[in-house]
Amino acid sequence: MGAAVTEPAAVRLVGLTYAYPDGTGALYGVDLDIGAGERVAVLGPNGAGKSTLMLHLNGVLTATSGEVHIGAVRLDRTTVRVIRQRVGVVFQDPDDQLFMPTVEQDVAFGPANFGLRGEILSESVRFALDAVGMSDRADRSPARLSLGERRRAALATVLACRPEVLVLDEPAANLDPVARRELADILLALPTTLVLVTHDLPYAQRVCDRAVVLDAGRIVADGPIDKILGDGELLAAHRLS
């Protein structure tokens, strides 16, 4: 029998280094593999480099050195459009992603931009709205939604593009307990590879199986989330509580 074929990681970072234009370093040789279907929390104090790391996953930022691979595709200038279709990013402020007159138009915007038309586009919109429990608000203006509903609508705008990897930046920030629970239930039901960037440790533990701790631009811990969050000395050393 031949050797088993190994599937490429959903996300692979190799020696990822980034410095801002003024020379300020943000990431220093980050190596990270995330398997297909994993739910991984990227934890760290403010200024650790979490958001900078997140913005490399779909080419918003370009590494100073190192490589980003999504599946079998390496991110570069020629593949960035393909990568952005495969990696969906949901930002902390939903108003960054909601700008059309209705929720349905917002959800249709992304897949239409990637070339979907007609019934295929309509089906993608229906799928995304249903996945986040917003089908009954499709014709509503985003301005008339609660923060929790706007977060779910912003998630739908990304899901409509059928990404392989879903990246969320502080998705539970400022949500009331009911909205936090509703969003967690939605995320847990998704089969997509999930990267959750947060300093909300209880929420990360609820949604994710694995945690990566980033501090000062370097990965300082990586393992099962229960083990990471049970290590009080580690958390204290990296200003997590």
CA atoms of 55 and 89, how far apart (whole Å):
8
**2 domain residue, yes or no:** no
Tokens at residue 133, please? 């429990």
**99 domain residue, yes or no:** yes
Count CB neighbours of 228 within 10 A: 22
**4 domain residue, yes or no:** no
**Whether this model's pTM surpasses 0.75:** yes
Beta-strand relationship, 165-169 and 193-197? parallel
Mean pLDDT over each residue of the chain, to the nearest integer: 94
| Parent domain of 80 | 11-237
CATH number of the domain residue 81 falls in: 3.40.50.300
Span 4-49, pLDDT tens digits: 556 789 999 999 999 999 999 999 999 999 999 999 999 999 999 9
Domain count, the chain: 1
**150 domain residue, yes or no:** yes
Span 85-127, pLDDT tens digits: 999 999 999 999 999 999 999 999 999 999 999 999 999 999 9
**123 domain residue, yes or no:** yes
Q: In what order do the strands lie in the sheet with 65-70?
A: 25-34, 11-19, 65-70, 73-74
